Structure 1
């Protein structure tokens, strides 16, 4: 073949050549990598002579768009299969945890802000403290008697209930039963309510023997001035020292200090007008007299003389 014929043949072949990206797509079928490679790399007989000529060499990157188009269905199918397999594994894992009774971690726990590992862990349940066993009537009675024997001041029902871990509504009736039992049995002591609490006291009919045993050789009685001052404070409280002195007719500063030192009288504020200190009786005073409140003090009317009004006018 002459050079002219060869050139005409190559020109015709070049004019009839179609780039790979403009070629019609094959029907939708499973692409074969080997075929795709052969379509791209294997030269046709018509292009052998054309490939030998440097000016018309086919660019290597021209085959990439067609190759990506044909490989895309295979990649999408592979990704879909991988996603289905991961979803199946996760469903099987959740079913296994549900059979074991463990909490399942899903989108709900992550959406609620609970970490995956924390939600999947077992929850620690703290056992509630066991309530104190309820004492029988005999045990409750014995426990109350034992406590009342060692107290040095009246103790309230609420404190006794807290110590014994029993309802306060149950402690009160038992204390009443104990007090009634002591009285019925004729014991030398009695259980009495005083100063807002309960305490054991000796009976008044045996006071002479108790005083002989406790006060023998000792002088612990209050003076007449102290008794009078204490009576004024008890019936007129809260009261100032000047008011006490006006009632008694003498200065009572020293007597007030003595009563405060012995714990029978205490300060309770100041008077609004004058700023003088006010005094009242203490819980020890109620305890010594065996009273629950100052309202139980006996009235003064039976102890006043008949001419009290005349005496009051004479002192003015």
Structure 2
């Protein structure tokens, strides 16, 4: 079955050249964007699906656009259309997006099935302190170790080290303050682990809970970062 974009794109895309190996055109009857390579052509949406399927890591829209010889904004729009198609049809796949990078992942509702199929060791599940630390980082990133410890009330060096080793968090930058402490944020692997396509899908914090976190971190609701 050929995947169709949610909305037809305008065919006025002056990007083809005589020497280009891949030429993006518009089919006159349907307005569907096609990728042509030699005598072979296929819908752009299907081409993007193939590239995301074989990618072993999140891919920048610019890289997809370079391979397809297509405008970045067109690629971004089509990838998001593919993600919406998966959602609307309740497919077993999703398109995760973070910081301009896209990745094909399994649907969150299939998490237990995937875990059972892959025989994942249940002993690798995250501990309560690790989950609490991850939640603070995810909702208020970028955050320093001191800010996390202010919320939790305990030393978090061991938990942070473990989360770094697991690849669930990463060092984003350093705070412009004495000692230049490291600020942490979650990774794409974090999104995969919890079946999210973006931090916008995190359930909202209760107002009282958000105020407690912000107060402990020394931030006001206005200053507090958002996912």
Shift of 1:188: 2.0
- Secondary structure at 1:130's aligned position in 2? coil
In 2, the alpha carbon distance for the partners of 1:242 and 1:204 equals: 32
Q: Which one of 171, 190, 205 corresponds to residue 300 of structure 1?
A: 205
Query: Which sections of structure 1, spanning at least 5 residues, go unmatched?
Result: 1-127
Cα deviation digits, residues 115-140 of structure 1 (max 9, x gap)? xxxxxxxxxxxxx9723442452342
Go from structure 1 to structure 2 and tell me whether the alpha carbon gap of 1:304 and 1:195 turns closer, same or farther (over 3 Å shift). same
Q: Does 1 or 2 have the higher relative contact order (CA < 8 Å, sep 6+)?
A: 2
- 1:130 is aligned to 19
Bigger helix fraction: 1
Tell whether the 8 Å contact from 2:24 to 2:69 is kept in structure 1 after alignment: no
| Mapped partners of 1:221, 1:175: distance in 2 | 32
Give 2:142's match in structure 1, choosing from 231, 234, 238: 238
Structure 2 vs 1, CA of residues 303 and 189 (structure 1 numbering), >3 Å: closer, same or farther? Answer: farther
Assess if the C-alpha contact under 8 Å between 1:194 and 1:287 holds in 2: no
Shift of 1:147: 0.9
Distance 1:166 1:252, change over 3 A: same
Candidates 141, 147, 167, aligned match of 2:51: 147
> In 1, distance between residues paired with 2:78 and 2:200?
26
Deviation sequence 1:150-181 (CA, Å, 0-9, x none): 11222232211101222223323432443344
Name which one, 1 or 2, has greater alpha-carbon Rg: 1
Change (3 A) 1:187 1:158: same
**Residue in 1 that maps onto 2:105:** 201
Number of paired residues? Answer: 181
Q: CA deviation at 1:225?
A: 0.9
Q: Equivalent residue for 2:170?
A: 266
Deviation of 1:296 after TM superposition, in Å, equals 5.1
As a proportion of its length, which structure holds more strand? Answer: 2
Give the match for residue 5 of structure 2: none
The alpha-carbon deviation at position 185 of structure 1 amounts to 4.1
In 2, Cα distance between equivalents of 1:179 and 1:273: 41
Contact 2:174-2:182 within 8 A present in 1 as well:
yes
CA root-mean-square deviation: 3.3
CA contact (8 A) 1:233 1:279 kept: no
- The 3-state SS of whatever aligns with 1:199 is strand
C-alpha separation in 1, matches of 2:147 and 2:80: 41
Deviation, 1:286, is 4.0
- Give the secondary-structure state (helix, strand or coil) at the position aligned to 2:102: strand
In 2, Cα distance between the equivalents of 1:225 and 1:130?
57
Q: Which runs of 5+ in 2 are unaligned?
A: 1-16, 26-33, 35-41, 217-227
